[in-house]
Amino acid sequence: MKNEATAKRLRTIQGHVGGIARMVEDGEYCIDVIRQIQAVQAALDKVSQIVLEDHMRHCLITVIQGDDPAERERVLNEIADVFQTANKS
């Protein structure tokens, strides 16, 4: 996994969330707060995408090439669950 780059993105998002909290505390205009929340959600979606792609390129391929059918099934079910959860929102 691209740990350093992913961690940096998450720290940036963390700072952004702190900024949103300050906006709320300062009574900033609601639509401006919502727009910032949407930006954070988009940034988190991007991080999720990066982590999932990395998982599929490394972990999933390793399991699929392996000899354990139960482990293959488990990992494929995890991927299916991630996509199912993502489509609920």
What does the block give as tokens for 51?
A: 């982590």
* DSSP count for the chain of H helices, then E strands: 4, 0
In this prediction, what percent of the chain has a pLDDT beyond 90?
A: 69
Residue 33 near residue 19 (C-beta atoms within 8 A): no
The per-residue pLDDT for range 13-56, each reduced to its tens digit, is 999 999 999 999 999 999 999 999 999 999 999 999 999 999 88
User: Which residues have CB under 8 Å from 4's CB, separation 6+?
Assistant: none
Residue 35 burial (CB count, 10 A)? 11
CATH match of 3-88 with 1.20.58.1000: yes
What does the block give as tokens for 72?
A: 């293959």
Q: What is the pTM of this model?
A: 0.81
* Cα separation, 36 vs 70, whole angstroms: 43
